[in-house]
Amino acid sequence: MANLDLRPLLQDNGSKIILYVWDGLGGIPAGPDGKTELEAARTPNADRLLSQGTCGLLEPVYPGVTPGSGPGHLGLFGYDPIEYQIGRGALEAVGVGFDLRRGDVAARLNFCTLDSKGRITDRRAGRLPTDESKRVVGRLAEAVQEVDGVQALWSPVKEHRALLVLRGEGLGDGLEDTDPQKEGVAPLDVRAVDDAQANLRTAALARKVLAQAMKVLASETKANGVLARGFAKRPHWPGFQERFGLRAAVVAGTPMYRGVARLVGMEALEATNEIARDVASLAAGWDKYDFFFIHYKHTDKAGEDGNFDAKVNYIEEADGAIPALEKLGPAVLIVTADHSTPTAMKAHSWHPVPVLLAAKTARRDGVREFNEIACLGGGLGLRPSTHLMPLALAHAGRLAKFGA
When the beta carbons of 87 and 253 are compared against its own copies, the nearer one is: 87
Q: With contact defined as beta carbons under 8 Å apart, do 257 and 249 qualify?
A: no
Q: With contact defined as beta carbons under 8 Å apart, do 256 and 73 qualify?
A: no
C-alpha to C-alpha distance for 233 and 164, rounded to whole angstroms: 12
Q: With contact defined as beta carbons under 8 Å apart, do 370 and 55 qualify?
A: yes
When the beta carbons of 35 and 222 are compared against its own copies, the nearer one is: 35
Q: With contact defined as beta carbons under 8 Å apart, do 68 and 348 qualify?
A: yes
**Which amino acid appears at position 28 of this protein?**
I
Q: How far is the CB of 371 from its own copies (least distance, A)?
A: 11
Q: With contact defined as beta carbons under 8 Å apart, do 311 and 302 qualify?
A: yes
Q: How far is the CB of 215 from its own copies (least distance, A)?
A: 29
C-alpha to C-alpha distance for 321 and 278, rounded to whole angstroms: 10
Helix/strand/coil (H, E, C) string of 173-212? CCECCCCCCCCCCCCCCCCECCCCHHHHHHHHHHHHHHHH
When the beta carbons of 222 and 297 are compared against its own copies, the nearer one is: 297
Q: How far is the CB of 36 from its own copies (least distance, A)?
A: 7
Q: With contact defined as beta carbons under 8 Å apart, do 388 and 334 qualify?
A: yes
Q: With contact defined as beta carbons under 8 Å apart, do 95 and 244 qualify?
A: no
Residue 80 has a CB neighbour count (10 Å cut-off) of: 16
When the beta carbons of 135 and 383 are compared against its own copies, the nearer one is: 383
Q: How far is the CB of 341 from its own copies (least distance, A)?
A: 11
Dihedral (Cα; 22, 28, 33, 39), 10-degree rounding: 30
Q: How far is the CB of 95 from its own copies (least distance, A)?
A: 10
When the beta carbons of 200 and 376 are compared against its own copies, the nearer one is: 376
When the beta carbons of 128 and 256 are compared against its own copies, the nearer one is: 256
Q: How far is the CB of 212 from its own copies (least distance, A)?
A: 26
When the beta carbons of 170 and 238 are compared against its own copies, the nearer one is: 238
C-alpha to C-alpha distance for 155 and 147, rounded to whole angstroms: 17
C-alpha to C-alpha distance for 110 and 124, rounded to whole angstroms: 6
When the beta carbons of 60 and 265 are compared against its own copies, the nearer one is: 60
When the beta carbons of 176 and 317 are compared against its own copies, the nearer one is: 176
C-alpha to C-alpha distance for 110 and 213, rounded to whole angstroms: 12
Q: How far is the CB of 7 from its own copies (least distance, A)?
A: 12
Residues 6+ apart with CB under 8 A from 56: 354, 355, 375, 378, 379, 380, 381, 382, 383
Q: How far is the CB of 189 from its own copies (least distance, A)?
A: 22
Q: What is the DSSP letter of 301?
A: H
Q: How far is the CB of 48 from its own copies (least distance, A)?
A: 15
